Amino acid sequence: MNIHDLDTPAVLIDIDTLGRNLSGMSNYCHAHNLTLRPHTKTHKIPQIARLQLQYGAPGITVAKLGEAEVMADAGINDILIVYPLWGEKKWIRLTELAKRVRTSVAMDSLTVAVGISRASKAAGVEIGIRLEFDTGLERCGLSANKESIAIAQEIIALPNLRWEGISLYPGHIMGNQKIREHDIQLENVKLDQLYALFDSAGIPYPVVSGGNTPAAFQSHRFHGLTEIRPGTYIFNDRNTVDAESADYSNCAVTVFATVVSTSVPGKAVIDAGSKTLSADTLLSGEQKNFGYIQDRPELILHDLSEEHGHLIVPGDSHLEVGDQLRIIPNHVCPCINLHDRVFIVSGEKVVDQWNVAARGKVT
Amino acid sequence: MNIHDLDTPAVLIDIDTLGRNLSGMSNYCHAHNLTLRPHTKTHKIPQIARLQLQYGAPGITVAKLGEAEVMADAGINDILIVYPLWGEKKWIRLTELAKRVRTSVAMDSLTVAVGISRASKAAGVEIGIRLEFDTGLERCGLSANKESIAIAQEIIALPNLRWEGISLYPGHIMGNQKIREHDIQLENVKLDQLYALFDSAGIPYPVVSGGNTPAAFQSHRFHGLTEIRPGTYIFNDRNTVDAESADYSNCAVTVFATVVSTSVPGKAVIDAGSKTLSADTLLSGEQKNFGYIQDRPELILHDLSEEHGHLIVPGDSHLEVGDQLRIIPNHVCPCINLHDRVFIVSGEKVVDQWNVAARGKVT
């Protein structure tokens, strides 16, 4: 089957590009003795999680318990939920998961740790625990100070928890390579301060887990990292290209769309809008527009309605109703999250179709 | 069951507010002799489509063939697909649909009409046809000129098509009431020009279908409208409040979320991010932020990660891990589209749970 036999819009994943992205990150982590624990929120597809394990990852990362449950069903047996889980319902589900697979959670409060410890004790299971520290994103994470170390000590002392170490999310380290250079230096100052606090309290931290995609190939330059959890690297997108950590030839996902209207002069409408691509603008804020048109860079996807992609067609270009285009999304993670299935392609040949099995697992 | 027994995040639909929104629009259309053909893209829930029929709508509007198929399965027997369908696969599916329910399509090109006519003839069915005109949004739609009237004449002459009339989408008529006043005058000038062209060619247009939610209650002031297709009115959202066509008490959908982190001073994180609320900013562009916190207007939802809502907590306010909040989304349509199910509530009592059955029907 050829992609032109598919009904549009359709998410296409190029298996050859995917393979190169898998081996590229695997080789990098192997060369620098870093554990790769990929964040599967990007794809939510068990088949891809299994490929990540085949390429050397000992386990995966997820954001949601529901995603962990789908991945455990698919045979993944080492899962980190890098999200502070709150509430009796979630703690009980967590202990059920821990009966099936090696399970860890990152959190930044004693109150979450106490809940998980209590539920784990009641269920007779052990849950791995990582303590989240903020190094600049100002989202989750404790500050590097003595109060936080006291919390760490309290958490480590709780029953049925397996202390694993430190969790970080350097999501603020974006931008182009020049900007990152300065950010990495700043990050290392903060990391050194944090390690000094742990060291002086005599608390070991066998794991130091960090890593986003834009800075992933710089991870060896962050002091003390033992593990990285990139997600987007598996596909790449316009954000990673914008951050100069990939180019368009590394982007495995395109949205295949059809021109459905050319009635308005100088414009054209494709059947991929915000319910197909997601409305995410670029993280850098530097450029507008909602995706990159592969092989037709002169076309500007300047706006999205829910089901309409609004193209600006310059005077020396031409589109007709029925023309088909492949679009690299700005942010691939929310794009995939809109779809129940994806098509696996090699060039224009459709080789398989996979379900986005962990999509919609909001809790 | 109480909402506090639900796991979060969860989409809550207040059935009492929903009822008021249903009767409000129904009464308005009845008073002004307008046909109400609600756009079900907002909810994608057959139970709500059936309520809309009970409140006087003779049929519904959808954006996708897949949505139409789900609604037909649920017993809705009059469906308008207000989208230019392209391609043999879709045309054949359309004729299959037309064997089951009264089916109409809006389009703006002869090429789409020819394809539908050919498939309809082969299948021995009749498809209703509306011709889309652009009155200012510059998305789809022909211009009001003689060339367009010639296209209308060619389409009307095609076999197995049932000519219904004119389709418009005044999506550019937004903003507050003051801005709309001027836009409505401008719209009427354009509509009069369009009708004059049809009249001089002797082409009847029994249906003139328009109507978005922000201007829905002004529809009687648009010249010649016979039908409106509002979608968002069923729920309302921060956009409709911003456009002064509803207030927060008319907003039926809230996202129920839990505070999961308060580690960063002056901030808090809730478990509802862009994969729960959608990343849509306000259509007006006038205000930033990503939702309105019901009963806690001092809290600012200033940023979203995929699974994190970033709240700014002012000094005189306080949040703890485990606190729960209800958020009115900026744009309810893409929000609902992220969820497989919703909870029907009356106040804090959970009375039912419905599947978003037409979600994910991207083709």
* A260/B86 CB distance under 8 A: yes
CB-based contact A306:A290 (threshold 8 Å): no
Is residue A59, in this structure, part of any structural domain at all?
A: yes
- Domain match, A107 and A184 both: yes
- Domain match, A66 and A177 both: yes
- Domain match, B323 and B257 both: yes
- Give the residue from A62, A306, A341, A361 with the most B CB atoms within 10 Å of its CB, the best one to mutate: A306
- Domain match, B211 and B277 both: no
* B267/A138 CB distance under 8 A: yes
Say whether A132 sits in a helix, a strand or coil. strand
CB-based contact A232:A333 (threshold 8 Å): yes
* B322/A111 CB distance under 8 A: yes
- Domain match, A113 and A182 both: yes
pLDDT, mean of each 10-residue run, chain A (363 residues): 97 98 98 98 98 98 98 98 97 98 98 98 98 93 96 98 95 73 90 98 98 88 96 96 92 98 97 96 81 97 96 96 98 98 98 98 97
Partner residue opposite A263 with nearest CB, options B108, B258, B259: B108
Is residue B346, in this structure, part of any structural domain at all?
A: yes
- Min CA distance, B252 vs chain A (Å)? 20
Which pLDDT score, from 0 to 100, does residue A286 have?
A: 65
Which pLDDT score, from 0 to 100, does residue A84 have?
A: 96
Output the domain CATH number for residue B190.
Answer: 3.20.20.10
Which pLDDT score, from 0 to 100, does residue A30 have?
A: 98
Provide the number of structural domains found in chain A: 2
Which pLDDT score, from 0 to 100, does residue A179 have?
A: 67
Output the domain CATH number for residue B265.
Answer: 2.40.37.20
Domain stop point among B175, B204, B234? B234
- Min CA distance, B31 vs chain A (Å)? 31
Ramachandran angles phi, psi of B188, nearest 5°: -65, -35
What mean pLDDT do residues B44-67 have? 98
Which pLDDT score, from 0 to 100, does residue B215 have?
A: 86
Is residue A343, in this structure, part of any structural domain at all?
A: yes
- Give the residue from A132, A139, A337 with the most B CB atoms within 10 Å of its CB, the best one to mutate: A139
* B338/A338 CB distance under 8 A: yes
d(CA B97, CA B101): 6
Domain stop point among A213, A235, A257? A235
CA dihedral A118, A121, A125, A131 (to 10 degrees): 40
State both tokens at B258.
């839990």
What mean pLDDT do residues B35-50 have? 98
Give B289-303 pLDDT, tens digit per residue.
999 999 999 999 999
Which pLDDT score, from 0 to 100, does residue A250 have?
A: 97
Which pLDDT score, from 0 to 100, does residue A19 have?
A: 98
Which pLDDT score, from 0 to 100, does residue A122 have?
A: 98
Minimum CA–CA partner of B276 in chain A: A362
Partner residue opposite A7 with nearest CB, options B63, B89, B134: B89
B238 near A CB under 8 A: no
- Min CA distance, B309 vs chain A (Å)? 9
A322 near B CB under 8 A: yes
Three-class SS string for chain B?
A: CEHHHCCCCEEEEEHHHHHHHHHHHHHHHHHCCCEECCEHHHCCCHHHHHHHHHCCCCCEEECCHHHHHHHHHCCCCEEEECCCCCCHHHHHHHHHHHHHCEEEEEECCHHHHHHHHHHHHHHCCCEEEEEEECCCCCCCCECCCHHHHHHHHHHHHCCCEEEEEEEECCCCCCCCHHHHHHHHHHHHHHHHHHHHHHHHCCCCCCEEEECCCCCHHHHHHCCCCCEECCCHHHCCCHHHHHCCCCCHHHCCEEEEEEEEECCCCCEEEECCCHHHHCCCCCCCCCCCCCEEECCCCCCEEEEECCCCEEEECCCCCCCCCCCEEEEEECCHHHHHCCCCEEEEEECCEEEEEEECCCCCCCC
- Domain match, A177 and A101 both: yes
Ramachandran angles phi, psi of B261, nearest 5°: -155, 135
Q: Which of residues 37-56 of B touch A (CB under 8 A)?
A: 41
Which pLDDT score, from 0 to 100, does residue B116 have?
A: 98
What mean pLDDT do residues B148-160 have? 97
Is residue A345, in this structure, part of any structural domain at all?
A: yes
Which pLDDT score, from 0 to 100, does residue B61 have?
A: 98
CB-based contact A76:A53 (threshold 8 Å): yes
Identify the domain containing residue B212 by its residue range. 15-234
* B41/A306 CB distance under 8 A: yes
d(CA A105, CA A155): 13
Is residue B361, in this structure, part of any structural domain at all?
A: no
Say how many CB pairs under 8 Å bridge A and B. Answer: 173
The verdict on whether omega for the bond into residue A9 sits within 30 degrees of 0, i.e. cis, is yes
- Domain match, B258 and B219 both: no
Which pLDDT score, from 0 to 100, does residue B264 have?
A: 95
d(CA B307, CA A89): 18
Which pLDDT score, from 0 to 100, does residue B174 have?
A: 72
- Domain match, A335 and A317 both: yes
> Which chain B residues touch A138 with a CB distance below 8 Å?
264, 267
> Which chain A residues touch B267 with a CB distance below 8 Å?
138-139
Domain stop point among A216, A235, A254? A235
* A264/B338 CB distance under 8 A: no
What rounded mean pLDDT belongs to chain B? 95
Partner residue opposite B360 with nearest CB, options A134, A307, A340: A340
What mean pLDDT do residues B258-264 have? 97
Is residue A169, in this structure, part of any structural domain at all?
A: yes
Say whether A84 sits in a helix, a strand or coil. coil
- Min CA distance, B222 vs chain A (Å)? 23
pLDDT at B172 over 90: no
Which pLDDT score, from 0 to 100, does residue A287 have?
A: 67
- Domain match, A63 and A210 both: yes
A312 near B CB under 8 A: no
- State the ipTM, two decimals: 0.96
Is residue A360, in this structure, part of any structural domain at all?
A: no
Which pLDDT score, from 0 to 100, does residue B287 have?
A: 67
A278 near B CB under 8 A: yes
